[in-house]
Structure 1
Amino acid sequence: MESFTERVITIIQHIPAGKVMTYGQIGQLAGSPRGARQVVRILHSSSEKYNLPWHRVINAKGEIGIKAEDAASHQKWMLESEGVTFTDRDTIDLEVCRYHPESF
């Protein structure tokens, strides 16, 4: 049986370009409905090792969760380069851009 961490990594690896998922959505799909903070931890510790498309993971409000201005700007640029558009309030319309995988 796969661990929660392995399921999270697999889910993130499958987010297609131009789509996003939320931390909580990934946690729930991986088996922990309240696992958003665990997803953040996994992204922080495993993005480079597994070459994860970390920039496709955002918060439930459709915002970039990174607080560091340079990193947030980089994430926004990466998403825009994949065709994701932002509102005038720097949020992403989750109705349009959220990825809904069948299952994992």
Structure 2
Amino acid sequence: MDAAFERAVLAQLLAIPPGRVSSYGVLAALAGYPRHARHVGKLLASAPEGAGWPWFRVVSGSGHIARPGTPQADYQRLLLEEDGIELGRNGRIDLRRYGWPADFMR
């Protein structure tokens, strides 16, 4: 991943408001790199601890937390709930309600 990609994705990540989520694919598209959702995931996974990135506001395009059943997924769920986001019993987030930006998430 090059520095321009990282800067563009980080700018979009930091723009996600509290109480909202976006998907890896939407973040990639907004950053100007459509079809680079996996690269967004890799970038967020490599975030330095304590960087303050709101990585937890990024979920799959179906509204699910990646890698369910892992300690990281449990932590992400906790952070999302603290952010005011409700997850369904199946662990899915209603992207029509919480998705950002709204026009991308419908």
**TM bucket normalised to smaller:** 0.7 to 0.9
What is the CA deviation profile of residues 27-66 of structure 1, one whole-angstrom value per residue up to 9, with x for unaligned ones? 0111111010110111122353642111100000100013
1:67 deviates by 4.4
Instruction: State the one-letter code of the partner of 2:26.
Output: Q
1:12 aligns with 2:13: yes
Q: For residues 101 and 92 of structure 1, do their structure 2 counterparts lie closer, same or farther at Cα, with a shift above 3 Å needed?
A: closer
Separation in 2, partners of 1:97, 1:8: 20
Number of equivalences: 101
Give runs of ≥4 in structure 1 deviating > 6 Å: none
Mapped contact 2:27–2:40 kept (Cα < 8 A): yes
Amino acid at match of 1:5: E
Unaligned runs of 5+ in 2: none
1:16 deviation in Å? 1.3
Q: Describe the shift of the 1:35–1:100 C-alpha distance in structure 2 as closer, same or farther (beyond 3 A).
A: same
Query: Which residue identity lines up with residue 36 of structure 2 in the other structure?
Result: G
CA distance in 1, matches of 2:57, 2:48: 12
- Tell me what 1:97 maps to: 98
Q: Where does residue 79 of structure 1 map in the other structure?
A: 80
RMSD (Å), alpha carbons: 2.0
Deviations 1:57-84 (A, max 9, x none): 0000100013452111111011011110
CA contact (8 A) 1:5 1:42 kept: yes
Compute the TM-score of the two structures, normalised by the length of structure 2. Answer: 0.85
CA–CA separation in structure 2 for the residues paired with 1:6 and 1:49? 18
Q: CA 1:21 to 1:39, structure 2 compared with 1: closer, same or farther past 3 Å?
A: same
